[in-house]
Each structure stands twice: as structure tokens, then as C-alpha cells.
Structure 1
Amino acid sequence: MRLFAAFALILSLMPSAALAQPAEKIKALPDCAALAASISELVVGPDTSIEDVEGGCHASNVAFAVSNYVHYTIEEVTLRGPDLLHAYPAGDILPAADLSIKGMRIAPQTGSPLQDYITGLMAMVMDLHLVYETDPEALTSTVSFDFKTDRLGSLFLTASLSDFDNTDMESVDRGEINGRLNQLALKLDDRGLFATVFAPMVLGLLPFDEDPRPRIGVIKADILAMLDMMPNRSLSDESRQALATYIDAFPKPEGNWSFDVISPDGLVLADFAGNWAGLADALADTVIVAVRDPAEP
């Protein structure tokens, strides 16, 4: 739920091509207060501040409504992007964006002020920072994503893509993924982060009326078999062991980890469809480096 809320907030703050209208019929929003008012999920209060800043908008003390029963309070949120006040109402895809969210906490709306207060005292604090840039003519993109919590650790990811068209919403609507992954770097400081924030999303794909452990075991075995099939030029013995340790520890792979993927020709994103044997072939010319902090047992 926490990660879903973070990404739902990101999506709500980004222009949607589904709302796109002829440019001549769209007027730019007058200011950031008007932009905030156009986001139905954004909840303001007496302490809310919304202001125009260079290149975008900044707000403090707002909330994001996932539903009538679950809100997330946010201390600060800043969104920057080219021609933001025109692009947002027009539904134009931003060629670049910088989104920073600080002090995000779950705020259940139970109807009981006492229960809401107690839950708020226990709530995890999350910060996230998403930056991406695209070149529509070259069809390239770079992205960085930083996710931190006050008690469960952090994640930092960077990636570069080619043959990537972020305006191809028709493909997205069909569930298709376009582009090639040329570089990926991931660093994890996991003190329960994956099990608490990410694993529920992954496990949610499994049948709800079955014990998930046997199926998880099969998936682990398939992935480990795929790792064994990869040549040493792509995956050294040390990296193979680190990845195997990480996979075997699912859904609680705690520790400090780093993963780097480099593919000169680019990995076709559409190939990542759960066919582990086929994926091993796709990764044949890719270099993967996996490291677990030597201080970790």
C-alpha cells in the first residue's frame, strides 16, 4: 500500500495523455494554486501553502487521498517541468520532470480521532525523489529514483533507455512496453524495506486463495537456474553467488546490496515477461555485477 500510494501520487501529479485536448483550446493555468486545485486527490487544509517556484510548483502540509479511508500526509512536495502550467491541463507528456516528496506518512481516516492519532504516531516517514529526462528525437531517456524511510532503509536507482518513446500512450494502454535498457544501477540499504514495502506488491500477483510458499519456491528455483545458465562473461562467480543469496532470501533479503546492469545494445524491455530461460538468452551479452556489503553476514 505504501509504495502504491507513492506511485499513485507520482501519476496524479503528472499530466495524462488521456486528458489531452487540442492545444488551441487549452489555456495555461494561472498559477500553482490552480494546478493544485485541478488535482482531485490532493487535499488541502488551513496550514497548506502553495507557491510558484522557478520551473514549477511547491506545496507544504497537504495530503493525498488514496481512498475515503486512507490518506497520506505530505510535509513538502515540489514538481518541476518544462512549461508545467500549460502542459498539465493540456495533458502533454513532460519531456523532463523533477518530483520531490518529503515527509510522507499514512493517515487513515477511521472516523475516530484517537485511533487516527495513534496510527499517526506509528507511521513510517517516507521521502522520494524522481528525476527523468527524455530526448523525443533521439528516443533516449535517463531516470533516477531515490526512496528513503526513517526506519526500514533506502533504495536508489538510476537507468538509461534507448528506443524509448514516452509519448506512446497507445502501447501503454495495450499493456506493451517499449524501449531498451542500456544501464541500470540499484543500491539497497534494506532493514525490512523489501518485505514491508515491495514484497506485498509482488506477492499480490499470486492467487489469493493458495499458500504462496510453494509457488515462491518454484519461482526462486527458475531464477536460480537462469543464473546458472548465464556465462561468466556476463556474470562472475562472485556476482552469481551474491544474486543467488539475494533471491534465496526473498521475501526478506535484508542487508546492503548493489546491482549494476550494463547492456551496450540494450535489453528489450518487452522480453522481461517471466520466461526465465528466454531471459537468460536475452542477457547473454549483458554484464551484471552484484555485491553484498562484506560487513553483512
Structure 2
Amino acid sequence: MAAYAGLAFLSFLWGSSFLLIKIASRAFDPFGFALARVGVAAAAMLMTSAVSGKVWPGSRPGLWVKLLALALIGQVIPFMLLAKAATLTTSAEMALMMGAQPIFVFVFGRFLGSSDRWTWLAALGLAIGFAGVGVAFWSPGAGGGAHAVLGRAFALAAGVFYGTGAIISGAATREIGAVRAVTASMTISTLVLGLIGLAFGRLPPPVTLLEIPLGPMLAMGALGVFNTALAYYVYFRLVHDEGPTFASLNNYIAPVIGVIAGAAALAEPVGPSAWVGLALVL
């Protein structure tokens, strides 16, 4: 019962995140968005680790390779892809594309050593959900045109990386636990993006940060603390306790929350094909 409660809570956090992504992307480019998101999350997790007495992970080279892979594949790349998607399509359509993640986890797990054991009936259910994502992907959408399709493609690609990251996170949490895994991976993500920003002159001056409107700034703060740091902790715990495929099932619930939030808060129209796709996902 606790596992399903955690899944529902995670679904709420990640379902509502697409609304925050859409709002925050108004003031951040994709690179700055990803850096701010992981930076806020890393700061929150470092403070949590200090208060809880969780020491920094050990110096085993194999562990740090996993954490680096987790940071790049499960956080840096998909965060940038979603930030770009937010400039091209609606938050509702981004949320719908996340419905494909469980099938990616299911497939990738066969090749990456996941301990999940699923029946053909479960595989059929995942395939039907993926079909729903396909229907939503090719729907005319709110904005229509090539830009909307490209935005959905970026969001769908983010789901591919999230799915791979789910498998890697299982290996990391088995070694060091969820708190350390989230703290270390978010810190690594921040350092990697910070170094890239320094190397290519992408870091914004402090005065620019002071000019960010209040709405996007608050959205980024909430996104980093609750929808990233807290959500990843819950997610990694679910991966550790129940397996990556079960944990990724939140992406069959999150689209419902994302569609409703986008329609209610931003008045985003949702086409008939998207509703059909959402029904198949469910």
C-alpha cells in the first residue's frame, strides 16, 4: 500500500512539474533552465543531507561512474530537452509524451540487467499506453504545425533518457541509498553544467538573475525543491524498493495531472486526439 501511495504522490509532483516548466521557461533558455533546476535541487539535497547526517558517498570509482552516468543521462540531458520542448509546445502535450517512459524502461531493462519480472499481460498494457502516446504525438495539437511536433519529439526524447536513467538509478541506490544518490547526482549535474557554462560563456551575470520576473523565479524555486529534489528522492526509493518499471508507472498518471493543470492554469486547449491518447494511456 505504501508503494502505491508513493507512486500517487510522485505522479502529482511530476504531473504538476510541466506547468512549472512552462512558466519558468519564459525567463530561462534551455541551458540556463537545466542549470537552475539542478542547482536549486542540489542545494536543497545538500542541506537535507547535512541535517540528516547522511555522509557523502565513498570514493569507489565504479560508483562514481554510475553517478556520472545517472547525472548526464537521467537529469542533464532530459532537463534540457524538456526546457526546449516548453518553448515549442504546451505543458499538456509534454505531459502526454511522458506516458511513453514505462515502455522504454521495460525494454531497456531487458538489456541493462533490471531485476523486474513482467508478464506478457503487463507488456501488452504498456504497449497500449505507448499507442496512446503515439495518437497524442500525431494529433493536430493546440498550436499545430512543425513546431508543435518538434516540441513533442523533444519531450518524447526526454522520456527515453529518463527511462535509461531509471535503470541506472536502481544500481546506484542499491549501493548508497536514495538520499545520497539524489544528492550526489544533482551535485554532479550542477558541476557539469556549470563547467560547460564557464567554458562556453553561457553563465548569466548576477544582474541578469535579478531581472527575472517573479512568476518564473517562483516556478523555478518550486520546481527545483519539490518537483525535482523531493520527487527524485521518492522516485529513487520506489526504484530501490519496487523496481524501475513500477516506479516509472507514475508516467501513466502524471499526464492526466499535467493536462488538467495546463488547461486549468494556462487555458491550454487540448484536442480530441489528445484526449483519445490520454484514454489509451490510462
TM-score by length of 2: 0.23
Q: Select the structure of larger CA radius of gyration.
A: 1
Q: Which of the two has greater strand per residue? A: 1
Higher RCO structure (Cα 8 Å, ≥6 apart):
2
TM-score by length of 1: 0.23
